[in-house]
Amino acid sequence: MEIKFAGHLSVAGLLKLSIPSVIMMVFTSIYGVVDGFCVSNYVGKAAFTAVNFIMPFLMMLGAVGFMFGTGGGALIARSMGEGRHELANRLFSMLVYVSLGLGVVLAALGLVFLEPVSRALGAEGELLENSIRYGRVILAAIPAYILQYEFQCLFATAGKARLGLYVTVASGLTNIVLDMLFVAVLDWGLEGAAVATAISQLVGGLFPLWYFARPNDSLLRLGGPSFDGRALGKICLNGSSELMSNISMSLVNMLYNAQLLKYTGEDGVAAYGVLMYVSLVFQAIFIGYSVGTAPAVSYHFGAGNRGELHSILGKSLRLIAAFSGVMFASACCLSRPLSMIFVAYDAALLDMTVRAFYLFAISFLFAGVAIYGSSFFTALNDGPVSAAISFLRTLLFQTAAVLLLPLLWSETGIWMSAAAAEIMAAGVTAAFLSANRKKYGY
């Protein structure tokens, strides 16, 4: 099969290469939003708050799949660029088996720690009960959730980004249809939304497993089990930035929720949930572009094509800047309509959400720089630099901002925290790109 990312890539070529991954990531985020819509409008504000409260913990467990997908995809694509296709298939097979086994372990640990974690974050009474009810159902599908994350990256590496998009759409439509059926029609409440999400994750995780296990025309094929501890260590180190990013974001979201409970009560948690749904969709564009173009970066790095690396980076940064401006303008124009989708039934909560939206939207102007920069270094198999960008962006800067700014501006400081952190992260990313340009020749 022809390797589509082996030649020179124009702006149009980069967009063509990345659009399936962008749509895939955006669609994944949108169908997650459906849970919030159905729960908020058909079950109530208390249940909606619980979903937003416990979701960071659940997403943190699934982030392992993103680590394997990005770190493994980079090493696999580099092996292809070096002409070692048999090694690429062995690495791919090892990743799938290891992540499946680890998913079972994480699901069991999640069930054990679900209640203690919820209590530690400040949940009590109805909020605690609802968080546990929702979380227990989702945890049963964590192995498939991890595979779904992983295959979203590896489909692009296998030269089948479009098929990955179709699988994601099928998974998303499953969630949307079942959400409406279980929650809006059958009135199964919070558990209905959780079951719909779990089933959709099974679709997104298990179908790719079946596809790659049978004869196919992609660049990769799932073979017999093998283990290479040294390669797995490289994959984990290289993908640690994406793992760190997802875990850190989940931890920071928990911290946001704790701060909002302190300063604004449960309404603040609900308002933040709306912002997170929109943020997930917008940031999915940056993530999708990064995932879609990463195999090209890894391939040309493995093949020693430094001129093409320079071309890809320059064009990508210009595209990221354009995406950022459009997102900021869209967020400002659509702040009230988007908020009304979730909380139109509560005037006070709606006003709080709209006010927060304008401050939070500033972060969209800067978020793409660090997201792409971290992914770019992952694709270059430079895990330490990629991890440093992710650690600073998603944990250190965000934590410092959400702890310190409320001391100065109370509730307003919380809503400004994301923008402050993204501005600092963009500056650090620019510094890393400048410092490593001679090393990698981009």
Separation between Cα atoms, residue 231 and residue 75, nearest integer Å: 9
> With 70 as the cut, is the pLDDT of residue 3 above it?
no
Report residue 33's pLDDT band, with 50, 70 and 90 as the boundaries.
confident
Residues 153 and 293: beta-carbon distance below 8 Å: no
Q: What is the per-residue pLDDT for 257?
A: 86
Average pLDDT over residues 215-223: 90
Separation between Cα atoms, residue 22 and residue 172, nearest integer Å: 14
Note the pLDDT tens digit of each residue in 51-91: 888 888 888 888 888 889 888 888 898 888 888 889 999 99
Of the given ranges (22-36, 104-118, 167-181, 209-223), which has the lowest mean pLDDT? 22-36
> With 80 as the cut, is the pLDDT of residue 225 above it?
no
DSSP 186: S
Q: What is the per-residue pLDDT for 115?
A: 95
How big is the CA angle at 363 (ends 360 and 369), to the nearest 5 degrees?
165
Residues 228 and 75: beta-carbon distance below 8 Å: no
> With 90 as the cut, is the pLDDT of residue 168 above it?
no
Average pLDDT over residues 133-162: 91
Q: What is the per-residue pLDDT for 381?
A: 85
Note the pLDDT tens digit of each residue in 291-311: 889 989 998 998 889 999 999
Q: Which residue matches tokens 């298990």?
A: 206
> With 80 as the cut, is the pLDDT of residue 6 above it?
no
Average pLDDT over residues 383-398: 89
> With 90 as the cut, is the pLDDT of residue 226 above it?
no
Q: Where are the domains of the chain?
A: 11-440
Residues 155 and 164: beta-carbon distance below 8 Å: yes
- How would DSSP label each residue in 105-166? HHHHHHHHHHHHHHHHTT--HHHHHHHHHHHHHHHTTHHHHHHHHHHHHHHHHTT-HHHHHH
**Residue % of the chain over a pLDDT of 70:** 98
User: What is the per-residue burial (b if ≥16 Cβ within 10 Å, else e) of 227-254?
Assistant: eeeebbebbbbbbbbbbbbbbbbbbbbb
Report residue 45's pLDDT band, with 50, 70 and 90 as the boundaries.
confident
Report residue 436's pLDDT band, with 50, 70 and 90 as the boundaries.
very high
Q: What is the per-residue pLDDT for 4?
A: 66
How big is the CA angle at 296 (ends 294 and 297), to the nearest 5 degrees?
65
User: At how many degrees (to 10) do helices 240-263 and 383-391 cross?
Assistant: 10
Report residue 5's pLDDT band, with 50, 70 and 90 as the boundaries.
low
**Residue % of the chain over a pLDDT of 90:** 54
Alpha carbons within 13 angstroms on the beta-carbon side of residue 277 total 26
